[in-house]
Structures are given as structure tokens and as C-alpha cells.
Structure 1
């Protein structure tokens, strides 16, 4: 295929994961020799004020009224594809996307967030549309990911594919690829080098406590105290973009040798590599990164909605533990102090992973673009021959 092919990747910054998936795919296409890859935060570019307000509401609702967030998630999860709310959401940014398609003329559009604008436009046949692909970024299905205008879906597991088939999606439309993670997570590290880099003791067991990209994991201070009092783990605390939390925790635990506080960490793959287990939110990308590293996970108070679904899905496979309160957190971590149990969970987590999800997705999309281009070329040749014959 001509490596001048153009690909448009649409994401959103409701959480950090959708952008990470978009960047992972872009890097993979670049590594394959395809340079014309465009990333677009659709809601931010089409409706910047609405994007700011809705992101603020999303973050606050997940922290202060998670049950309300969960209720809204489940109310929007309908099998009725003509549900007016879904149609309205999928029309977001239509005029912006039309302009970008006219400008860049992409061969394919990839959605990593369920604002499925291009499939909606394709279904309405408003213009000649590129091939449309959707990469699901969770281990559980929400109906908003499904759209009849989508050419192909890429999903995390066979179980998730089965759910999609029960929704009426055809088998050939769904590829079990895994969820893409950034290329550095696929790298094997020399642990001695990492222990030296972060000034850690290789004789100690480290628990990675990740508060999420925005530093909003609930009860973070109580969790730290529970871990210090109830286990022998040392703590690597990552506060994300919450600079205030990082400053407070560094001040509070300045004299505590068992806790190491970080702000936003660009190289989480390194901290995961030196950790014995991870306590975190149940975001699909974070869990996928842990799976690539075969890192046992405890999800603390999963958010109702997709995070609870992610946690339940991997818990059923023995790959993670769920703690709904501090007592359960302590009990689960005591279990993980046992080397045999921790290794068993690590094996289960490793079985979840699809090692090179981004490569699988990129290769599949490149092949489909090539076949589509060849089919169009054959049609054009046939139409030209018919035109010549009519002229004669």
C-alpha cells in the first residue's frame, strides 16, 4: 500500500486513557512508515467551552457523587440503537469532522472514544466516507460503542466480543486485539538499573499506589495509613497531575522511609516493573498496562459504570482483587504479601494481555485500506472501460 495513506484518530480527554491509546496507535503507524496520522480531540476542537464544562462535571461527579455517575452510565446503556441520546451524541462535531475530512481526505478514521461521529455521518450517507474503525478502551461493553456505520471493532477479550455478537454485531466485524498500551510498556528492563535510578532497596517489596492521571483516587491518605500499618510493603505513591496532593503527601511523610511520593509520572512502565502489586482505579488502559507487566492489581472502590465492569471482568479471571473499603484493602494486601499467591495472580494477569495490541490493530487497518483501495481501483477501471465502449 502507498505509505502516503492518511489516517485520522479521534479521541477525548475524559480520562487519560483515550489519548494514550490514540498516541500508541499513532506511534505504531509511524513505526510502520505511515506519517500522515492526525489526532483530533473532537469535543475540544468543535465545542471547547462545552468540553471544559463537561470534563469538570465528569471529574467532580466521579469523586463526589459516584452513584449518580453510575446511574447516568447505566441509563445511557440501551440496546436501542435509535435512542435519541445516542444519535445526538454521535452527531457531536459533525461540521468539524466534515471540514477535516475535506482537508485531509483520510483513508480511515479510528475512534477511541464513543463519540462515533463518522459512522453516524456514513450511515446517513452525507458524503463519501472513509473506512471507520472503533477501538474499545474497556473490558466491558456499553451500547454507545456500537454503531451500524462502523466497519470494524477492536476489543480487549473474547468475552467482550461475545457480548458484541449478542448485540447483533457480526463475527467478522470484531477483532480481539487487546487494548493498546504505549510502546515502552513492551520493553524489558534491567531491574537493578531501575532500583538504582529511583533510589530503591531491591530487598524490599514495593506497592505502587496510583491515584490516576488527575490524582482523584478516593481516601488516598487513609489508604496510605492502612498500607503502612497493616502490611510490610513500601509505597510508591503517584499523585498524577494533583500537585497539591503531591506536596501535602511529601510534607506529611518527609521522615517516613517506607513511602516515596511522585507527582505526574511519564514512565509508569518503570515503576510498574519494580513493583510487586498495584492499587489503583479500574481504568481500562491502566489495567491493560498492568496486564502487559503481569502485575497483580487491587482495585479500590471501583467507580460504578465502566470501572466496576472492568474490575468485575478481570476479577472473574482471577487477575485482580476488589476492595470496597479499607478493611478489604488491608485483607487483600496481606494475601498479596504471600509470594505464592502473588505469583498466581501475576500469571492470571499475564493471561489477560494481548502483547502487541497496537500492532495488531494497525496491521489490520492497513490491510483493509489496501483491499478497499484495490477494490475501488477495479471499480474505476471497469467504469472507465464501460465509458470508452459507450463513446465508441
Structure 2
């Protein structure tokens, strides 16, 4: 069995993490599967991918209000009215042509999209009967943007029940939509054995975007009873800034390639401060860690935050009260933690079946695979 997985861009993102998680789940049930991950931008025009990704990063960092307005006007509309009327531009037709030729050459049995743009192209190709390979959308945010292909996509793996109802209203058959949750790598799906280390993780340092410096400045100016461990990734500038603080309660953690090591930090933490990215929040909720956010990047993170706040699954930090006081009012209170845990359990119960079970239902299972 041959499967092609389509994220977008080469830079590390939630789309790639989702792809890696799905691939690991598939490998556990179909070790015979040949799985190929392809960034369609790089495949079609390598230099174009570099230019587009750089423009995107500069746009959201230097003109966040502009990007937010663009996203709300052209990428996601609350009523989904643009879902089946997404315009096809000249470059879309070029990428469609190249993608169709690529599929014809590779002859996959299945295609999995973890980004909306390849899904949009495939939806149009399938509508024109130019591609007949089964396609799976794996959604990586807590909402469904208008760009995702919908009616002509064969399977949809959605984050929650509300997203399933949303797709059905837009004309997708209900038996094609599976509430699996946003994909989480199996490394994080282990028993919760939290240790009392009195530490709080801070994520989001790798990109250098967001309000992380503001948070660190605030923490450094207050007396702290918890140790704050900052995930710096490849951001050496941030790591140096933290070390220059000489604050024993604020520690810089370097890039971690090992998920097992990352899982250990999750297990040792009492809470996390992060941006509302779909994959990161899903990993953290899987670990049953209270999530605190300080701002959101323009675009999808804004809508993720809106949904998560509506379900009361995350807490938004304010400037009016010391950060640690806001956090400890939740994590040091059995009453508040139990309330949050009940909301989390209610959210988790919306999953109709696990991702592995859903993939098994679609792909089948080889006799040599690991039993479920």
C-alpha cells in the first residue's frame, strides 16, 4: 500500500507534526505501507517555497493586524460561505496540473492532507474527475477554514463534534466525517504520571513570535515559587537572553529532537504557557496539563483561542494580575482543577473513536502489526 502525505512548506509547523503523528499511527497498523511526505510547493518550485514561507513569517510578525484582516476576509468566514466558492487563481491551476501529474506518476492508494491548500487543489481535481485516489483531510486546528476541500474529499478527520456538524451543514456526508481529535503522536499517549516538580513550561520560543519576551520580563520582575522552563528550540538569541537574566527560577531548554524527552517535560510540569496552536494545545490536553495563553498569532491561532475559550479549556493571561498568581489560582486549587478536568473530559468524550481505530477501518490491518 502506498500513501502520500501532503503538508505545506518545509519549515517546522503543526502541519508537519500532524503528518508525523498520522504516519506513526499508520505504521503501527500497516508496517507494510510505503509512506511519502511531499511539500507540493517545494516539489513544483523549490525557490518559490522559500520565498512564500519567508513572506508569510514577515507578514505575521511585522503586520499582524493586516494578516488578521486578510485571514478573516479570505480564509475563514463564520458562515462558511466561501467554502465551495474559493476562487481558482492562475497559480492554483499551475499547482493543480503539477499535482495531477505527480499523482499519475506515483499512483498512490491514498492521499492524506494535513494542510488546507493541497486539499483545495485535490477537491477541484476530484470534482473534475482528474483524480480518483481516495483523499483524507486531517484538520490541525480547532475550526475548519474555507480553503479546505470538502464535498469531494473522501474522509474527514475532525477535532470535535461541532466541526463534524459544520461540515455536514456544508454538504459533506456524515459517514465520511470522523471525530478523531487533532492528531497527537503516540509518544504522548501514555499514562499520566505527573510528578510534583513545581515547574511550568513556556512554549513558543522557537519561532521568536508572540509575546514571550513580555511574559519573561514580567516573571523576572516578580518573586516566583515555581520554576519556569522555556522551550527555546533553535532560538539561540532567546536562550542567551534567559541566561543573562541569572534568575534560578527561569531556565532555558534547548531544542529537543526526542519526543520521549519532550514527553518527560510534559509529565513533570504543572501547567504550560503557550500560543494556541492546534497541535501543541492538543498534545498538552492529551497530557491533562492546564493551558495558559498570552496572546495569539494572527489568523488561525485567533480562531483556535476563540473556540478553546468558549469551551473553557484554556485560560487567558491578563496584564492586571501577576502571572504566577493567575496560574496558581487554578493549579493550586483542587476545586478549580476538578472543574477544568470535567470540561476536558466532556471534550474528550466527543471523540467517536481513536485515530488508530479510524485508520484501521479505512486501511485495514496486517497480521504483523502491533495489536490495538
Correspondence for 1:258: 249
CA-to-aligned-CA distance 1:157-209 (integer Å, 9 cap, x gap): 001112222223222221111111111101237666xxxxxxxxx4x411111
Contact 2:194 2:269 in 1 (8 A): no
CA contact (8 A) 1:139 1:156 kept: yes
Residue 369 of structure 2 corresponds to: none
Could you tell me which runs of 5 or more consecutive residues in structure 2 were left unpaired when the two chains were aligned.
366-372
Distance, in Å, in 1 between the alignment partners of 2:264 and 2:172 is: 39
- The TM-score normalised by the length of structure 1 is 0.80
Instruction: Compute the TM-score of the two structures, normalised by the length of structure 2.
Output: 0.84
Tell me, in whole angstroms, the C-alpha distance in 1 between the residues paired with 2:311 and 2:200.
Answer: 22
The reply to whether residue 241 of structure 1 matches residue 234 of structure 2 is yes
State the distance in 1 between where 2:182 and 2:250 align.
31
- Relative contact order (alpha carbons < 8 A, sep ≥ 6): 1 or 2 greater? 2
User: 2:233 touches 2:255 (CA, 8 Å); kept in 1?
Assistant: yes
Question: How much does 1:100 deviate?
Answer: 2.9
Change in CA separation of 1:91 and 1:233 when aligned onto 2, cut-off 3 Å: farther
How far apart in 2 are the matches of 1:350 and 1:278? 19
Say which of 127, 133, 136 aligns to 1:133.
136
In 1, the alpha carbon distance for the partners of 2:320 and 2:47 equals 38
Are 1:352 and 2:352 matched, yes or no?
no
Question: What secondary structure does 2:273 align onto?
Answer: strand
**Alpha carbons 1:226, 1:330 under 8 Å: kept:** no
Structure 1 portions without partners, runs of 5+: 193-201, 369-392
Where in structure 2 are the equivalents of 1:202-281 lying within 5 Å? 202=196, 204-218=197-211, 220-228=212-220, 229=222, 231-250=224-243, 252-253=244-245, 255-266=246-257, 267=259, 268-281=262-275
Within-5 A mapping of 1:178-217: 178-188=181-191, 202=196, 204-217=197-210
Structure 2 SS opposite 1:276:
strand
* SS of match in other structure, 2:280: helix
User: Is 1:308 aligned to 2:310, yes or no?
Assistant: no
The change in CA–CA distance for 1:321 and 1:216 in structure 2 (over 3 A counts) is same
Distance in 2 of aligned mates of 1:46 and 1:212: 31
Measured in 1, the distance between the counterparts of 2:172 and 2:314 equals 29
Superposed displacement of residue 60, structure 1: 2.2
Of 279, 282, 289 in structure 2, the residue corresponding to residue 285 of structure 1 is 279
Distance 1:265 1:22 in 2: 18
CA distance in 2, matches of 1:56, 1:324: 31
8 Å CA contact 1:238–1:261 kept in 2: the answer is: yes
- Indicate yes or no: 2:180 matched with 1:177: yes
Per the alignment, in what secondary structure is the counterpart of residue 262 of structure 1?
strand
**C-alpha RMSD of the superposition:** 2.7
